[in-house]
Amino acid sequence: MKEQSQRLGSQPIPKLLLNLSLPAMIGMFVMAFYNVVDTLFIARGVGIEGVAGVSIGFPVMMIIMAIAAAVGIGGASVISRRLGENKQEEANKVFGNVLFMIVSVSFIGFIGAFTFMEPLLILFGATPDILPHAVDYLFPIMLGSLFFSLAFTTNSIIRSEGNSKFAMMTMIIPAVLNIILDPIFIFGLDMGVQGASLATVISQASVSVVILRYFLTGKSSLTVRLANLKPMYTVIKETLTIGFPAFIRQVSGSAMMIAINFMLIKFGGDFEVGVFGIVQKLTMFTIMPMIGVLQGMQPIIGYNYGASLHDRLRETVVLGMKVVTIVSGVIFTVMMIFPELLMRIFSGDPAIIDEGSFAIRIMFAASLLIGVQVVSGGLYQALGKAKPALILSMARQVLFLIPLVLILPNFFGVTGVWLAFPIADVLAFTLSVYFLYGDRHLFFIKKKDPADYKPVPSSS
């Protein structure tokens, strides 16, 4: 086993969490920055209609990424625990099956580009004015789904073995390349939204080459063997069972955007959809640092849980909760004070600035509570406890946000869409605290008898 994996059970937790979370946070920050810049170029080069087209097309892309997330996060959880149990060969078999599933996911995306893409966009709410932009954006993305799936999935795997710095590079490389290519394709070649999409595909293809080289040249703790690419039902079942909450979270995010776009068109129009497209990218930007902390926590939790080092597990959870709470406070402050400044980055149109600033202040009214929500579901995933992870992953978007988005606009119009966010945050936070309190003996309370903490089966 490589030293990068062994340190998960020996290095002091504050130093280890910093070493793993900081690269993840930087990588997520750069990716989020790319998404903001991508939207900025589209808004400036195409207009609010182009942003609206991307907003309509993005849920389809999220569905493909949802499958990749299930494979990657589920596989990472299984691999980190196998490494913690010193079962190297079993970890290699899990990785081989992950690669098999990546190819399967990619095939679905490729075929979908030629079959159901345009009808799906119309079903998701694309109007005649928005549809051409949505098609231009989504078609290259679906053709290149192999590169997205490989990069997205293996990032989780790389982090599961403790190599956070390389995982960070796999996020930074495509983001930086994308930022360079965007203005060339959008403005220089006058390709509009399709130029932004092609820049994204080329960037992901480039980093896929780097990732394959990493695994094939012995730099990883995992070994790629043809024999391990043969699908194994038990491995696939365990991987997808643990990764299913991540799938639900991604799909629910897609369903959330579909519901929001539908209600915005019903009670507003293409303009409001475009404004939401901008605010949504800002939302992703603010959540990314907390996801980075979680990504740093998960391999530590999975490894130490597998190795029955429960004091280290508890220390990781407590420290991680403190960090994301501080981050949430910073986000709340910025969004309440500077929304107009943030909107001016994307557009000089007073109407867009006013509506976007109004939406931001409402949507982020309860953002102080977001950190606990983000971390709680990820904790149970890392432990292999699929049921609570699934419930918490569904809570904010499926149980609370989508119903609120469908109900509140009937009373408050477009404002009702914005109001759904803080109410859902409060409800999801309450549910997260309920689950964490029920498992406080595992996460927060130190007991003398190690026998009190027996690993639960991964399917529980």
For residue range 40-49, what is the model confidence (pLDDT) as tens digits?
788 877 777 7
Q: Which DSSP category does 189 fall into?
A: S
Query: How crowded is the C-beta side of 437, counted as CA atoms within 13 Å?
Result: 6
Task: Give mean pLDDT, residues 98-119.
Answer: 79
Judge whether 28 and 292 are in contact, CB under 8 Å.
yes
Q: Which two tokens mark 23?
A: 């690269």
- Above 90 in pLDDT, residue 391? no
Assigned domain for 2 exists = no
Distance between CA 88 and CA 393 in Å, rounded? 30
Report the range of poorest mean pLDDT among 52-56, 184-188, 230-234, 388-392: 230-234
Residue 406's CB is within 10 A of a number of other CB atoms, namely: 16
Note the pLDDT tens digit of each residue in 249-290. 777 777 888 888 889 888 888 788 888 888 887 887 777 778
Task: Give mean pLDDT, residues 120-138.
Answer: 79
Helices (DSSP H) in 144-269: which residue ranges?
Answer: 145-160, 164-183, 192-216, 233-267
pLDDT at 238: 76
Assigned domain for 220 exists = yes
> DSSP states of 9-45 as a string?
GTS-HHHHHHHHHHHHHHHHHHHHHHHHHHHHHHHHH
Confidence band, pLDDT 50/70/90 cuts, at residue 342: confident
Number of domains comprising the chain:
1
pLDDT at 8: 61
Judge whether 146 and 106 are in contact, CB under 8 Å.
yes
Assigned domain for 321 exists = yes
Distance between CA 371 and CA 419 in Å, rounded? 19
* Opening angle at CA 361, ends 357 and 366, nearest 5: 155
Query: How crowded is the C-beta side of 184, counted as CA atoms within 13 Å?
Result: 9
Note the pLDDT tens digit of each residue in 151-203. 777 877 777 666 777 877 887 888 888 888 888 888 888 788 888 888 888 98
Q: Which two tokens mark 122?
A: 């119309």
Confidence band, pLDDT 50/70/90 cuts, at residue 451: very low
pLDDT at 415: 92
Q: Which DSSP category does 2 fall into?
A: -
Distance between CA 276 and CA 220 in Å, rounded? 41
- C-alpha radius of gyration, the chain, whole number: 21
Average pLDDT, the chain: 78
Please name the amino acid found at residue 166: F
Judge whether 356 and 279 are in contact, CB under 8 Å.
yes
Task: Give mean pLDDT, residues 291-316.
Answer: 75
Judge whether 366 and 425 are in contact, CB under 8 Å.
yes
pLDDT at 362: 92
Task: Give mean pLDDT, residues 78-84.
Answer: 74
pLDDT at 6: 55
Question: How far is the CA of 57 from the CAs of 124, 254, 337, in angstroms?
Answer: 8, 10, 31
Assigned domain for 458 exists = no
Assigned domain for 377 exists = yes
Assigned domain for 199 exists = yes
* Long-range Cβ contacts of 327-332 (<8 Å, 24+ apart): 327/289, 327/290, 327/293, 327/371, 328/290, 328/367, 328/368, 328/369, 328/370, 328/371, 329/368, 331/286, 331/364, 331/367, 331/370, 332/364, 332/367, 332/368
pLDDT at 449: 45
User: Which range in 68-72, 102-106, 202-206 is most confidently predicted, on average pLDDT?
Assistant: 202-206
Distance between CA 107 and CA 218 in Å, rounded? 28
Confidence band, pLDDT 50/70/90 cuts, at residue 409: very high
Q: Find the farthest-apart pair of alpha carbons in the chain and give their distance in angstroms, rounded.
A: 67
Q: Please give the residue that has the higher pLDDT: either 319 or 163.
A: 319
Nearest residue to 432 (alpha-carbon basis) of 309, 335, 294, 260: 294
Q: Please give the residue that has the higher pLDDT: either 15 or 424.
A: 424
Q: Which DSSP category does 453 fall into?
A: -
Distance between CA 436 and CA 431 in Å, rounded? 9
- Above 90 in pLDDT, residue 423? yes
* Tokens 């909760």 -> residue: 321
The three-class DSSP label of residue 401 is helix
Please name the amino acid found at residue 407: I
Could you tell me the residue range of the domain that residue 305 belongs to? 12-447
Helices (H) and strands (E) in the chain, counts: 20, 0
Report the range of poorest mean pLDDT among 26-40, 62-76, 202-216: 26-40
Question: How far is the CA of 265 from the CAs of 232, 261, 262, 268, 278, in angstroms?
Answer: 46, 6, 5, 5, 16
Residue 452's CB is within 10 A of a number of other CB atoms, namely: 11
pLDDT at 459: 43
Assigned domain for 460 exists = no
Confidence band, pLDDT 50/70/90 cuts, at residue 446: low
Assigned domain for 115 exists = yes
The verdict on pTM exceeding 0.85 is: no
